Amino acid sequence: MKARELIKKKLPLLVAVALYVAVCYSFIGCPIKFFTGIPCPGCGMTRAVVSALRLDFASAFCFHPLFPIAPLFAAYIFAEDLLPGKVSRVLAAIFAILFFSVYFFRIFFTSDPITAIDPEGGFVVKSIKYIISFFGGHGS
C-alpha cells in the first residue's frame, strides 16, 4: 500500500481519535474512569504526553510510565497495514502486555491516584444512587 493511500485510509481515524482525546481531556478525563470509577490501562497517558511536550519528563513519567512508547504505538496503528500479519500481531501483543503489566503494577503495588479504583465515584453508581434516592429509596 502506498503512503498516500495509507494516509487517506487512516487520517479520518487519527483525526477522530485526536478529537475524542481532546474533548475527553478537556471535560471529563478518561471516559472509562468517569463512567465506572475504574481506570483504564491508558489512564494518565494524555497528561503524560502533554507533560512530555512541555519537556516535563518527570511529571510525564508520573502520569504514565509508558509515555515514551506513545509515538511508537501511534506509528504502529498508522502503519499496521504495511506490516506482515505475524509482525503486526506480535507488536500488538507486546503493546498489550506492556500496558496491562504496568496497569496491574500501578493498581496493586502503588498508591497512584491516577489508577485509584473508586466505583462509588463513577457516573453510573452516582446516577443509580440518585435515582434510588429520588424515588424514595433512602431506607428507614
| Each residue's pLDDT tens digit, 91-128 | 989 999 999 999 999 999 988 888 889 999 999 999 99
Question: Which residues fall within 8 angstroms of residue 50, CB to CB, at 6 or more apart?
Answer: 25
Helix (H) or strand (E) holding 64: none
| pTM metric for this prediction | 0.71
Model confidence pLDDT, tens digit, residues 41-97: 988 888 898 899 999 999 999 999 999 998 888 888 777 777 788 988 999 899 999
Longest CA–CA separation in the chain, Å: 69
The per-residue pLDDT for 74 is: 81
